Homo-oligomer: A and B are copies of this chain.
């Protein structure tokens, strides 16, 4: 048996060999702890001899300064909290990766918090992060304002938003140009000759969904179609919801030839639904996704989609948090990213407008001209 019934038999415990402290090093090197501290941090020059001795002892002992003690003293933990909606949604690992890369560059650690679509859990995490005195929090969980607006308003830690913006709070935010994305997707279908277009959206509380819908309307109007006639069915941003919604869309609009989806997962669900109803993609119906998650290139057919600059978002968020914290510790310097900010600049008391990143149409194989072009 690997799992014994006895609670913690002795051999289960890890040998608690304690880490050497700065005093151990100081003692063995015959200097004061202050000197060790200086040598290790390199903040103040020490006599080469002393320096060498301290370093040697530290090395021999395997001394590693305690970040805990240092945090207490320095009042900074060099740790970021990252709260995401749902780590199992393939979009979020991309953000996580981007944030983590940027953080590691500045040797910040990231406490990952997976909201798992549960407001109570989100709150637990928000408090946990404050308790742990993280230097800043990155929230990639749209709609958090509705659920925790009060907390956000009285927060005691810098917060930046990724992939959404809080409508009523002066929080720095970065997100893709959702309106343009919706428009691009739709224009693509129009240019292929589609005229009977539907939309699979996300729950209305999702601001991005509304924006994208707006963009779709823009494109329709631009193409001389009536935006009011667009049939919209609400999905849930997941495959299952996309499938369900697509089925309904087919009932309500059997003659449909093009579908713009809220995201790639929804699009994948739509493809499944269409197949289940005997329609080919793209031969019978074209489908456009959104986000360009890795997955979208792997499915059959590979999805035409709107690409977001996810890694740029992560990078920006970490950098921005660095500015807010004020500790000018930069492995900073230009990473070559140029970001175009839109917004009227008349931001009232709401602080600078969110940074809006351009999006891009990525044409793959889920779209084609409709069977009978008019």
A residues engaging B (CB < 8 A)?
A: 1-3, 7-8, 12-14, 16-17, 19, 62, 64-69, 71-72, 77, 79, 82, 87-88, 90, 92-94, 96-97, 100-101, 104, 107, 109-114, 116, 121, 124-125, 127-128, 130-133, 136, 154, 156-158, 239, 268-269, 271-272, 275, 294-295, 298-300, 323-326, 328, 339, 341, 343, 352-355
Contact = CB atoms under 8 A, between A and B. Distances in A.
17 contacts: A2-B339, A12-B323, A14-B326, A64-B130, A65-B131, A67-B133, A68-B133, A72-B72, A79-B111, A90-B90, A97-B114, A100-B112, A107-B128, A111-B111, A111-B112, A239-B298, A275-B300
B132 A2 contact: no
Nearest to A114: B100
A109 B128 contact: yes
A146 B233 CA distance: 52
Contacts of A93: 87-88, 90, 92-93
B3 A341 contact: yes
Given A8-B323, A324-B13, A343-B2, A66 B114 contact: no
Contacts of A339: 2-3
A3 B335 CA distance: 14
